[in-house]
Amino acid sequence: MRVSRNVTSLAASILTILSSGHRALAQDSNADLAKKLSNPIASLISVPFQFNYDSGYGPEDGDREILNIQPVIPISLNEDWNLISRTIMPVIWQNDIAGDSGHQFGLGDITQSLFFSPKQPGPGGIIWGAGPVFLLPTATDELLGSGKWGAGPTAVALKQEGPWTYGMLANHIWSFAGQSDRDDVSSTFLQPFVAYTTPDAWTFTLNTESTYDWEHNDWSVPINFQVSKLLKFGEQPVSLTAGARYWVESPETGPDGWGVRLAVTFLFPK
């Protein structure tokens, strides 16, 4: 697998920062923040920069690199409810992902989710949220996006017990407008996850980010394993992540084999 210079450079940067762990906060407070990061709807402002590399696209063995900028912003509605805004804005580099299609670089389609979530866990300690999700056709090239406006429901439910966090996030998006010559969108996203956070703020996460395309009857199923460490630099908490994934299932034109994930997340506790 050809790993790009972008992957190598970012990996080196993350390893360099990880080696400076002596600058971190006390372990207990870091562990608490790390555990909150495992909750997609925690009352915590965070801004992840998540880099993904995958290859094996189409007959030309194309590759794609995506930098997902994913701010999560909780908004207090009243004493009982929060509104959690989760945005995924992808910046994409790709080469020959549709046969001999050349190189594209630019912004992909933005996914915007809004979760209405009770401030206190429900019966059995279940934390949950639900609301709408929107697909915005912001792609700067037709090979970087769907060309469609879309919307649908999204929900998440999870439980945190001791060092463990486990649950599922899901959504479904239908297209309702956009370019008439592009395929309609009817897509289900399923993300079951389990995470273990240690007292010294290491988090080990296993999940899938599976998508079923109802228009073409295709599954895309990557299994992700990642390791994160929460540190504090000055007054700024930062989580650093490195991981790998394997594509168990994908369309004929989709990625295959192994992929890489690296991330830096800035936290802004209230």
Q: What is the pLDDT of residues 2-52, one digit of tens each?
A: 545 555 555 555 445 444 433 433 444 788 899 999 999 998 999 999 999
Q: What is the pLDDT of residues 96-155, one digit of tens each?
A: 888 788 899 999 999 999 999 999 999 999 999 999 999 999 999 999 999 999 999 999
Q: Which residues contact 74 (CB under 8 A, 6 or more apart)?
A: 41, 42, 43, 44, 45, 82, 83, 84, 85
Helix (H) or strand (E) holding 55: strand 45-57
Mean pLDDT of the chain: 90
CB burial of 173-193 (b: ≥16 within 10 Å; e: otherwise) equals bebeebeeeeeebbbebbbeb
pLDDT tier at 214 (50, 70, 90 boundaries)? very high
The whole-angstrom distance between residue 205's C-alpha and the CA centroid of its chain comes to 12
Of the ranges 15-24, 46-55, 180-189, 211-220, which one carries the lowest mean pLDDT score?
15-24
Complete domains list, the chain, with CATH: 5-268 (2.40.160.40)
User: Residue 202 pairs with which residues in a beta bridge?
Assistant: 229
Q: How far apart are CA 131 and CA 128, in angstroms?
A: 11
Going from the C-alpha of 124 to that of each of 35, 160, 164, 170, the distances in angstroms are 18, 10, 15, 21
Quick one: pLDDT at residue 5? 57
Quick one: pLDDT at residue 29? 79
What does the pLDDT average to over 222-235?
A: 94
Q: What are phi and psi of 101, to 5 degrees?
A: -100, 0
pLDDT tier at 58 (50, 70, 90 boundaries)? confident
Quick one: pLDDT at residue 15? 47
Count of other CB atoms within 10 angstroms of residue 120 = 8
Quick one: pLDDT at residue 164? 97
Token pair for 10: 């970012």
Token pair for 26: 């006390």
What does the pLDDT average to over 88-98?
A: 93
Quick one: pLDDT at residue 28? 42
- Report which DSSP code applies to 215: T
